[in-house]
Amino acid sequence: MYIFLNNRIVPASEAHVSVYDHGFLYGDGIYETMRAYQGIVFMLRRHLGRLGRSASLIRLRLPEERFIEDAVHETLAANGLSDAYVRITFSRGKGPIGLDPDLCGDPTFVVIAERFREYPAACYERGMKIIFAQTRRNLRDAIDPRIKSLNFLNNILAKIEAKERGADEAVMLNSQGFLTEGTVCNIFFVSHGILCTPSVDAGILDGITRDIVIGLAQKSGMEVKEGMFRPDDLLRSEEVFYTNTTAEVMPVGLAEDVAFEAGEIARMLHTLYREEVEAYMRGQGK
Ligand code: PDD
């Protein structure tokens, strides 16, 4: 396996980062996860746009977008991958101990690409199990969830709760008790036929999949409501699913102790999402 590290491809066994890297010492950095279908990285430009936003929110200066894009493609090519999981990571870089970002030289830049492992079909047929975590989502005024940062302990604490309770995913609430998002995904539910999802104002990462799914639902004539919702709104709904780049549209079969069907709306939106991926690939010459 090969990794892009800083400015070149190296074997994974030689892809080392310093223990003085501020990404390691302080979680000071950002990342993006993407998915490649037949060698085409879906929505690459949008992911790079969000990476740029994360960078600017933490005052990290990135190389030119073109350089990052080329690095992604070089990493896929070096590993001979076509259906792949792709992760871009930027940390503040190496520097002496101390919080001051100006202690660091150039950012550390890593691209990892691995063969994509599909979720088992049973997950889509039966749906995943979610819980509501006790851990609250980072406050927007503390670490804005719109920063896709390396500081992931908030999500990891919620993930630990999910695991301890035998669930696949944990949905976090904000400080006022409104639904926000899962540890690596955005949450949706269907209530009286309306597609509901927490608004960005609740304190979430504005997922790229979420945005596409909202657009597809609207195009197919569904009413979509982005708002402030309570756990009970979700538990009393007809259907629940979550979205992200890797799982696409994933139904929920159990939320706390309430069972749901892996429903029709999730299936329909997943089909439309796949059509969107295919249209994107055709647009890129596939
Ligand atoms: N996670 N919310 C959080 C906290 C996330 O980490 C993610 C993505 C999403 C969904 O965003 P998108 O639809 O753009 O993938 C929402 C990725 C998959 C990850 O952490 O690897």
Q: Report pLDDT digits (tens) over 48-60.
A: 999 999 999 999 9
Tokens in use for 205? Answer: 């990462």
Q: Report pLDDT digits (tens) over 208-217.
A: 999 999 999 9
The finding on whether 151 has its CB within 6 A of some atom of ligand 1 is no
Report how far ligand 1's centroid is from the alpha carbon of 90 (Å). Answer: 16
**Does 144 score more than 90 pLDDT?**
yes
User: Residue range 117-130: average pLDDT?
Assistant: 96
Q: Report pLDDT digits (tens) over 220-257.
A: 999 999 999 999 999 999 999 999 999 999 999 999 99
Q: Report pLDDT digits (tens) over 267-280.
A: 999 999 999 999 99
pLDDT at 94: 98
Report how far ligand 1's centroid is from the alpha carbon of 215 (Å). Answer: 18
**Does 286 score more than 90 pLDDT?**
no
Q: For residue 50, which atom of ligand 1 is closest to its CA? A: 14
Cβ-proximal residues to 242 (8 Å cutoff; 6+ apart), any chain:
128, 130, 169, 182, 185, 186, 187, 188, 250, 252
Q: Which one from 148, 163, 219, 286 is the annotated catalytic residue?
A: 148
Which residue has a Cα nearest atom 1 of ligand 1?
184
pLDDT at 285: 84
pLDDT at 57: 97
User: Residue range 2-7: average pLDDT?
Assistant: 97
The finding on whether 143 has its CB within 6 A of some atom of ligand 1 is no
Q: Report pLDDT digits (tens) over 42-96.
A: 999 999 999 999 999 999 999 999 999 999 999 999 999 999 999 999 999 999 9
User: Residue range 151-161: average pLDDT?
Assistant: 97
Pocket test for ligand 1, best of 41, 111, 184 (most atoms within 8 A of CB): 184
The finding on whether 35 has its CB within 6 A of some atom of ligand 1 is no
Indicate the SS3 state at residue 160: helix
- Domains along the sequence of the chain with CATH: 2-115 (3.30.470.10), 121-281 (3.20.10.10)
Please say whether the beta carbons of 5 and 110 come within 8 A.
yes
Q: What angle do CA 60, 35, 66 make, to 5 degrees?
A: 45
Q: What is the mean pLDDT of the chain?
A: 97
Q: Report pLDDT digits (tens) over 9-39.
A: 999 999 999 999 999 999 999 999 999 999 9
pLDDT at 92: 98
The finding on whether 210 has its CB within 6 A of some atom of ligand 1 is yes
pLDDT at 211: 98
Indicate the pTM of the whole model: 0.97
Pocket test for ligand 1, best of 112, 185, 204, 212 (most atoms within 8 A of CB): 185
163 as an active site residue: the answer is: no
Please say whether the beta carbons of 75 and 1 come within 8 A.
no
Cβ-proximal residues to 17 (8 Å cutoff; 6+ apart), any chain:
5, 23, 24, 91, 108, 110
d(CA 102, CA 166): 43
The finding on whether 209 has its CB within 6 A of some atom of ligand 1 is yes
